[in-house]
Amino acid sequence: MAEEQKTGCSPSDCAGCSHAGECGSKPQSLIKPENKKSHINHVIAVVSGKGGVGKSMVTASLARLMREQGFSVGIMDADITGPSIPKMYGIHEKAKGDGENIFPCEAKDGTKIMSINLLLPEEDDPVIWRGPVISGVVTQFWTDVAWGELDYLFVDMPPGTGDVPLTVFQSLPVEGIVIVTSPQDLVRMIVKKAYNMAGQMDIPVLGIVENYSYLECPDCGRKISVFGESHIDEVAEELGVPVIGISRDSVTSHARFAEKNNLPFILLSDPDLTAIQAYGVWKEKKLYGKTSMGVVRTTFVISPDGKIEKIMEKVKPDTNAGDILAYLRENP
C-alpha cells in the first residue's frame, strides 16, 4: 500500500479501497495513447450483463445510424471469443498491416471494422486464450490499429464485467456506455451489475436498450411477450436513466426555464449543434418573409429496442404533451 501511495493508485484501486480519499494519493490515468494514425473524437462502449441479448446488433445499428447522419464511424469488436461484427457486415477479407500499423477493414457503407476474425487464418478458428492475453489484444486494437479520422468509435464489448470490460474502461477514453438487455428477470439483475461497474469507473450510462420486448403477431397484430413482460421502465427509473430535452440555448437560459416551469427532466445545451444536427432538426425556417437556419421543434418517440418509432415534426408546445400521450395510448 505504501508503494502505491508513492506512485499513485489506479481508479479501480481507489474504487475498492477503504482508505479512498484519505491516503492523499491521486489516481493515475491508465488511458493508452491512440495510434499515431488515428484521430478519434468519441468512444462509446456497448455492453450487456449476459450474452444473447442482441448487443452486437445494437452496436451495428448505432453505427449505421451515425453513418446515415454523415459521421465517420468505426467498430472495435472487443468480443474476442465471440466475434460477430464482420459477419454482420459481410466482411470476409483479412486485415492488412505495414509492419507498424494494422489497418481496419471497411464495410460497404464506409464503417471501419477491426475484429479478431479479421486476423485469424479461418473465421471459425476458436480463440482459446487466457484473460490477460485477450485483454492485451483489445488494447492493441486501440494502440496498433490505424483508424484514421473517426467521429465515433463504437466498442462491441463481451458480455459480463470481466477482464475485457475493465481493460476497455481503463485503457480507452470511453465517454459513455449503452447497456443492452432483455425482459427476463435474471437479465434485469445483471443489468444492475453492468450499471454499477460503470459507476465505479466514473463512466456515464447513456441509455438502456431492451431487445426481444415482444413479438407482434403477423395475423392479428397482438403483441406477445415471448420472454416475459418488459421491465425497462422500472429498471430505467430505478437506475435513474433520465428523460432529456435538447436545444442550442445556453445553460443559464435552460436553468431559468426549468425553474420557471418546474420541469421534471433534464435540459441539455447544445450550442455547437452536435446532437441537433445528428437528429436532423437543424433546418431552414421562414419567418416574416426571411429565411434562416434554426431548430425545428421535433419530438422523437423511441421504442425499447432503441429504434425511432415516431417523429412528430413542427410540434406546438401547448399541445405536444397531449399528442404524445394520445399516441402512447393508441400504441401501447
Cα gap 284→31, rounded to integer Å? 42
Query: How many CB atoms are closer than 10 A to CB 4?
Result: 15
The residue type found at 82 is: G
Residue 214 has pLDDT above 90, yes or no: no
pLDDT band at 175 (very low <50, low <70, confident <90, very high): very high
- Give pLDDT, residue 318: 63
Residue 134 has phi, psi (to 5 degrees) of -60, -45
- Please say whether the beta carbons of 33 and 27 come within 8 A: no
Strands (E), the chain: 38-48, 73-77, 96-97, 102-103, 105-106, 112-114, 148-156, 176-181, 205-210, 215-216, 223-224, 244-247, 266-269, 282-287, 290-295, 298-302, 308-313
Residue 114 has pLDDT above 90, yes or no: yes
Query: How many CB atoms are closer than 10 A to CB 327?
Result: 14
Question: Each residue of 17-67: pLDDT tens digit?
Answer: 655 555 655 556 788 888 999 999 999 999 987 777 888 988 998 898 888
Going by C-alpha positions, the residue among 188, 140, 204, 187 that lies closest to residue 167 is 140
**CATH domain 244-330 topology:** Glutaredoxin (3.40.30)
Catalytic residue numbers read 220
Q: What is the DSSP string of 121-187?
A: SSTT------HHHHHHHHHHHHHTB--EEEEEEEEEPPSSSSHHHHHHHHHS---EEEEEE-S-HHH
Listed in order, the ranges of the chain carrying CATH 3.40.30.10 are: 244-330
Mean predicted confidence (pLDDT) in 288-297: 74
38-239 to CATH, choices 3.90.1150.10, 2.70.170.10, 3.40.50.300, 3.30.465.10: 3.40.50.300
Cα–chain center distance at 328: 26
State the cell numbers at 91: 466482411
- Give pLDDT, residue 3: 36
Residue 152 has pLDDT above 90, yes or no: yes
Listed in order, the ranges of the chain carrying CATH 3.40.50.300 are: 38-239
